[in-house]
Amino acid sequence: MPERIKSKVDDAVLVARRRSQVIGASIQLFGKRGYYATTVREIAERAGVSTGLVYQYFGDKEDILFLALQTVLDAYKERIPRATEGIEGPLMRFRAAVHAYARVIDANIDATVLAYRETKSVGRARRDIIKQKESETNALIEAHVRDCIKAGLFEKVDPELITYQIVMIAHAWALKAWHWAGRLTVEQYVDRNLALLLHPLLTERGRRENLRLVSASA
Partner DNA sequence: TATGAATGAGTCTTCATTCAT
Partner DNA sequence: GATGAATGAAGACTCATTCAT
Q: Which of 26, 28, 38, 70 binds DNA (CB under 7 A)?
A: 38
Amino acid (1-letter code) at residue 47: A
User: Between residues 62 and 74, which has the closer beta carbon with respect to DNA?
Assistant: 62
Q: Which of 6, 9, 14, 36 binds a copy of itself (CB under 8 A)?
A: 36
Q: Which residues within the stretch 140-179 sit at the binding site for a copy of itself (CB under 8 A)? A: 157-158, 161-162, 164-165, 168-169, 172, 175-176, 178-179
Least distance CB 196 / a copy of itself (angstroms): 6
Q: Answer yes or no whether residue 208 interacts with a copy of itself by CB under 8 A.
A: no
Q: Is the dihedral of CA 143, 148, 152, 154 positive or negative?
A: negative
> Quick one: what does residue 20 bind among a copy of itself, DNA, none, with the CB cut-off 5 to 8 Å set by partner type?
none
Least distance CB 6 / DNA (angstroms): 10
Q: Answer yes or no whether residue 33 interacts with a copy of itself by CB under 8 A.
A: yes
DSSP string, the chain: --PPPP-S---HHHHHHHHHHHHHHHHHHHHHH-TTTS-HHHHHHHHTS-HHHHHHH-SSHHHHHHHHHHHHHHHHHHHHHHHHTT--SHHHHHHHHHHHHHHHHHHTHHHHHHHHHHGGGS-HHHHHHHHHHHHHHHHHHHHHHHHHHHTTSB-S--HHHHHHHHHHHHHHHHHTHHHHTTT--HHHHHHHHHHHHHTTTB-HHHHHHHHHHHHHH-
Q: Answer yes or no whether residue 117 interacts with a copy of itself by CB under 8 A.
A: yes
Q: Which residues within the stretch 46-75 sit at the binding site for DNA (CB under 7 A)? A: 49-56, 60-62
Q: Answer yes or no whether residue 59 interacts with a copy of itself by CB under 8 A.
A: no
Q: Which of 2, 48, 116, 132 binds a copy of itself (CB under 8 A)?
A: 116
Least distance CB 125 / DNA (angstroms): 17
Amino acid (1-letter code) at residue 90: P
Binding residues for a copy of itself, rule CB under 8 A, total 33
The residues that touch DNA, with contacts defined as CB under 7 A, are 8-11, 14, 18, 36-41, 49-56, 60-62
